Structure 1
């Protein structure tokens, strides 16, 4: 794992008991500019002591604390003197570990509930006596441990919150981390700053200098290679590497001809004129076109594109070796959710070589690199903040998600130069109109991802033609399908309720400006049951 600013010795460890909101807790803490890390709930007290956290947060979880295989916590952790905040399952496991009791309620609570504070509490400071919280439980604390007092309750849950201020242990049955708990962020702020005495020093501006120095220290005088796609993660790594080691880093941009209109030119402009790196633009358009000719099956398209990508990439690495510029390090835009989901972390460490990634990257025989992953501490929104701090243009920092196979999987059926031209031109109009729409919402709300903004938007070109009338003449041309969704993480998505005038303008422009198109349809299917992409 990459090095972190010394200030994050004030780190908060989030114990994961299998919560659906585990990542959300870590994000809410970081929203308050305090560094947090997710760790397994089975850490021992000695392991926790070695990590030297400033505070612990115990997540929720789906199990019952009395189930045979229920996750538990080392009771000695509560004797370390580290402040503890527990939610839901974390509330219940604290009670049991310290001598209290948890019982099965006749009536559960799911969704919004009203709590009443029973007494003054540092955790609830600056919040009203009655407030709405988000509950999700049937089990509940029936008897608090010795030394604890009840600080809040609901009509169903007598112990909605409990605390032992002398030991700095505070727990709630509800979930402060979700937006539905109206004063949840205030509770987190009270815990971190008033109870734990932390400072809000986890900011991208503060981290740039330290991350630059860490990058330099890791690679020394050796060469680094990066597969630069033009997406957010790889672009931020390229910008950081440029700042840290300059032309010691070779950024390999493989142009397969399947990017959106204007993107290859933009990537080359940014990384040849704004950042001082060794930039290699591999023009592989013709090779990809030949390989994809006549291929209609989506997974075959993906295999061809992925396999050829690494062939092109390693050919560049081999040429560098032959030119007397051997590469020791491979830089990657791995981000924190990738690490969490891979299960690669236990106590904050992980393998530092590419060997653990052989299942993802088809290395040629005898080829290996050491790995540089400077973003493996960061969530996506933090990567974007870091990109801005490094001077990347907003057009790259806020670029919407784009599939690795590019437009090949937005063309249903075989890919051809004619279809690519139609799709690139139609997609450019959609991006122009909806970029402007999102910008208007941003100016009105001040939020980059407001409630009604589009998260992802693009065109799909189906493998059919339709009849139309243009200029008093019958046409037989292609339809284009518009896809625009609202989402935050791509796990679920809903179709964007775009204003009719926006849809009308997009449709009118595409039909008028893109030869070969005579119809525009709008996909109004959510995920699930559909996926965001069509192939």
Structure 2
């Protein structure tokens, strides 16, 4: 067992970022809804607790509160935003509405030496409408900001701390170091959560789960399904059979690329299924994005069930589900967060199906998945391949999905990503180099606009281009692309893709937008 930290989620959309920062410090942690039964949380034998932010106010009736076992444990506690307010409220301090909501960048000044915050002034990210009016007995004020006279508090004797700002987001540059100080220096955790540890534990869990049974793996060619498949193959060898489904919703040349990559390692244990007609028929006349995801999730499962019956009963199905999928789908084990969208392989699964799921990456972030993939020896073109949603082009083809519109989108997307790659803007960022684009794609919009081509009026569809930079895919900034590149891409699309006469560029960050449009 590795040393662990328990993160209690009070409904924050960014609670998972706390977990990611803790793991960056090479300390294992798990994220639990705040009211998870004590025995489940204590089963990981935590050496400390982190309390997340949340949308509630501690003085409201039925507001989430700190479970009794947390303070009774005598272990270190760090409260973040609402977590700090909940800690204050539970221990006899006073929390009240702030005269002015504080949202966005701020400067906090450390007031006295302490093991959590370095001395000096620190840029941080604030997001709160309440504030601490009076700390609990025994607590010292550790830091202040212009609008928050009590921006951090601490009781070093009991190792209890709170910060009003959000150290987990990249907008707080020193936040990762503050979290490292808490989990390593205050809680005393050993930094032993490494790729090798992740692989060893995953292999052990897979073997324990499946025993000597055969396993079917859903392969898409993306990094998530590739690493999940490689982990299961390491665990059970020839018990694994991989199935790649050509949904008809793939990018340009994707089927051929996936077959080449996996045939080398899996040989006859790779099965390719042409199911384009199944998916297009199921999605006919469907425009609502949640319904698209539900249909795609169910169609995938039914195809895998059909293949399993054909091969002789196979009880297990491997999926490349990762933590952001679980978070945004508000799966049952993350029921305190609001659902943003249903991922086809989480909330989009049918209520009943013939498999028990094997999901070795379910609690890993994208960067952890890639590190594990490298440690497993997967080729770089798979590990650092452009992310692609499981529903494929269905969630980039807004409105009705037809073979004609998909081909239009596929062509525009290929032009955009090819131009970016030729400009050296895609792919893994070498150390010390400017950050490259983490994800880029085209979206076909369900609107038409008037144009003029060859002195004739046109009334055709619109393509939106999206390119973002991000480290964790939970927050992202739009990429400031060279104007001449955007001009070249737009010119090529309207000249080479039939049915498109206008190209626009999405300059919205995440949040408030998600990376994908649907």
Determine if the alignment matches structure 1 residue 40 to structure 2 residue 33.
yes
What is the SS of the residue equivalent to 2:315? Answer: strand
- 1:401 alignment counterpart: 388
- 1:456 alignment counterpart: 440
Q: Deviations over 1:117-143 (max 9, x none)?
A: 23211112xx33333333333433333
Determine if the alignment matches structure 1 residue 429 to structure 2 residue 415.
yes
- 2:339 alignment counterpart: none
Q: Does the CA contact (< 8 Å) of 2:88 and 2:132 recur in 1?
A: yes
Q: CA deviation at 1:73?
A: 1.4
Q: CA deviation at 1:103?
A: 4.0
Q: Does the CA contact (< 8 Å) of 1:83 and 1:196 recur in 2?
A: yes
Determine if the alignment matches structure 1 residue 503 to structure 2 residue 486.
yes
Determine if the alignment matches structure 1 residue 99 to structure 2 residue 92.
yes
- 1:368 alignment counterpart: 354
Q: Does the CA contact (< 8 Å) of 1:401 and 1:456 recur in 2?
A: no
1:404-419 correspondence runs (5 A): 404=391, 406=393, 410=397, 415-416=402-403
State the distance in 1 between where 2:21 and 2:65 align: 24
Deviates most, 229-238 or 244-253: 229-238
Q: CA deviation at 1:94?
A: 1.8
TM-score, normalising length: structure 2 = 0.82
- The unaligned stretches of length 5 or more in structure 1 are 1-5, 348-355
Q: CA deviation at 1:83?
A: 1.2
- 2:503 alignment counterpart: 521
What is the SS of the residue equivalent to 2:142? Answer: strand
Q: Deviations over 1:101-124 (max 9, x none)?
A: 334444554333333323211112
What is the SS of the residue equivalent to 2:205? Answer: helix
Determine if the alignment matches structure 1 residue 145 to structure 2 residue 136.
yes
- 1:485 alignment counterpart: 467
Q: Deviations over 1:430-463 (max 9, x none)?
A: 222123446479657757965xx36231263989
Q: Does the CA contact (< 8 Å) of 2:22 and 2:29 recur in 1?
A: yes
Determine if the alignment matches structure 1 residue 391 to structure 2 residue 377.
yes
- 2:53 alignment counterpart: 60
Q: Deviations over 1:398-434 (max 9, x none)?
A: 3223351536963876734x76656544432322212
- 2:67 alignment counterpart: 74
State the distance in 1 between where 2:410 and 2:348 align: 33
What is the SS of the residue equivalent to 1:151? Answer: strand
- CA, structure 1 residues 415+203, in 2 after alignment: closer, same or farther (shift >3 Å)? same
- 1:131 alignment counterpart: 122
- 2:317 alignment counterpart: 330
Q: CA deviation at 1:248?
A: 1.0
Q: Does the CA contact (< 8 Å) of 2:395 and 2:516 recur in 1?
A: no
State the distance in 2 between where 1:68 and 1:435 align: 54
- 1:16 alignment counterpart: 9
- 1:198 alignment counterpart: 189
- CA, structure 1 residues 422+475, in 2 after alignment: closer, same or farther (shift >3 Å)? farther
- CA, structure 1 residues 135+307, in 2 after alignment: closer, same or farther (shift >3 Å)? closer
- 1:351 alignment counterpart: none
State the distance in 2 between where 1:105 and 1:476 align: 55
State the distance in 1 between where 2:391 and 2:57 align: 41
Q: CA deviation at 1:89?
A: 2.1
TM-score, normalising length: structure 1 = 0.79
What is the SS of the residue equivalent to 1:54? Answer: strand
Q: Does the CA contact (< 8 Å) of 1:410 and 1:534 recur in 2?
A: no
1:162-311 correspondence runs (5 A): 162-275=153-266, 278-285=269-276, 291=281, 295=284, 297-298=286-287, 309-311=300-302
Aligned CA RMSD, in angstroms, stands at 4.0
